Amino acid sequence: MNRAKSLAILMLSLNLSLMAEMKTAYLAGGCFWCTESDMEKVPGVTSVISGYSGGHVANPTYKEVSSGTTGHVESI
């Protein structure tokens, strides 16, 4: 089982009493396309949005982030 899916299952199991209330989680686990796909399959997850976290460049492009010069990481 990959790390993002394991983390999601752990988060959900630790918060069973709070599941009726919507929560937001920000996860970074390498390629966001892979983690997005895995998280969409986790019971209780209502939506998954890919993007970038951190960094010092406003509205970076995928190419800029991939170059490693913006300080961003891919996240969901």
Domain that includes residue 45, residue range: 3-75
- SS3 for 10-60, per residue? HHHHHCHHHCCCCCCCCCCCCCHHHHHHHHCCCCCCCCCCCEEEECCCCCC
Two structure tokens written together for 5: 């899916």
pTM of this prediction exceeds 0.85: no
**For the chain, how many structural domains are there in total?**
1
φ and ψ of 14, to 5 deg:
-75, -20
pLDDT of residue 4: 63
- What are the tens digits of pLDDT across the range 48-71? 888 888 899 999 998 999 899 999
The residue annotated as part of the active site, out of 31, 41, 62, 66, is: 31
How far is the C-alpha of 57 from the C-alpha of 35, rounded, in Å?
23
34 is catalytic: no
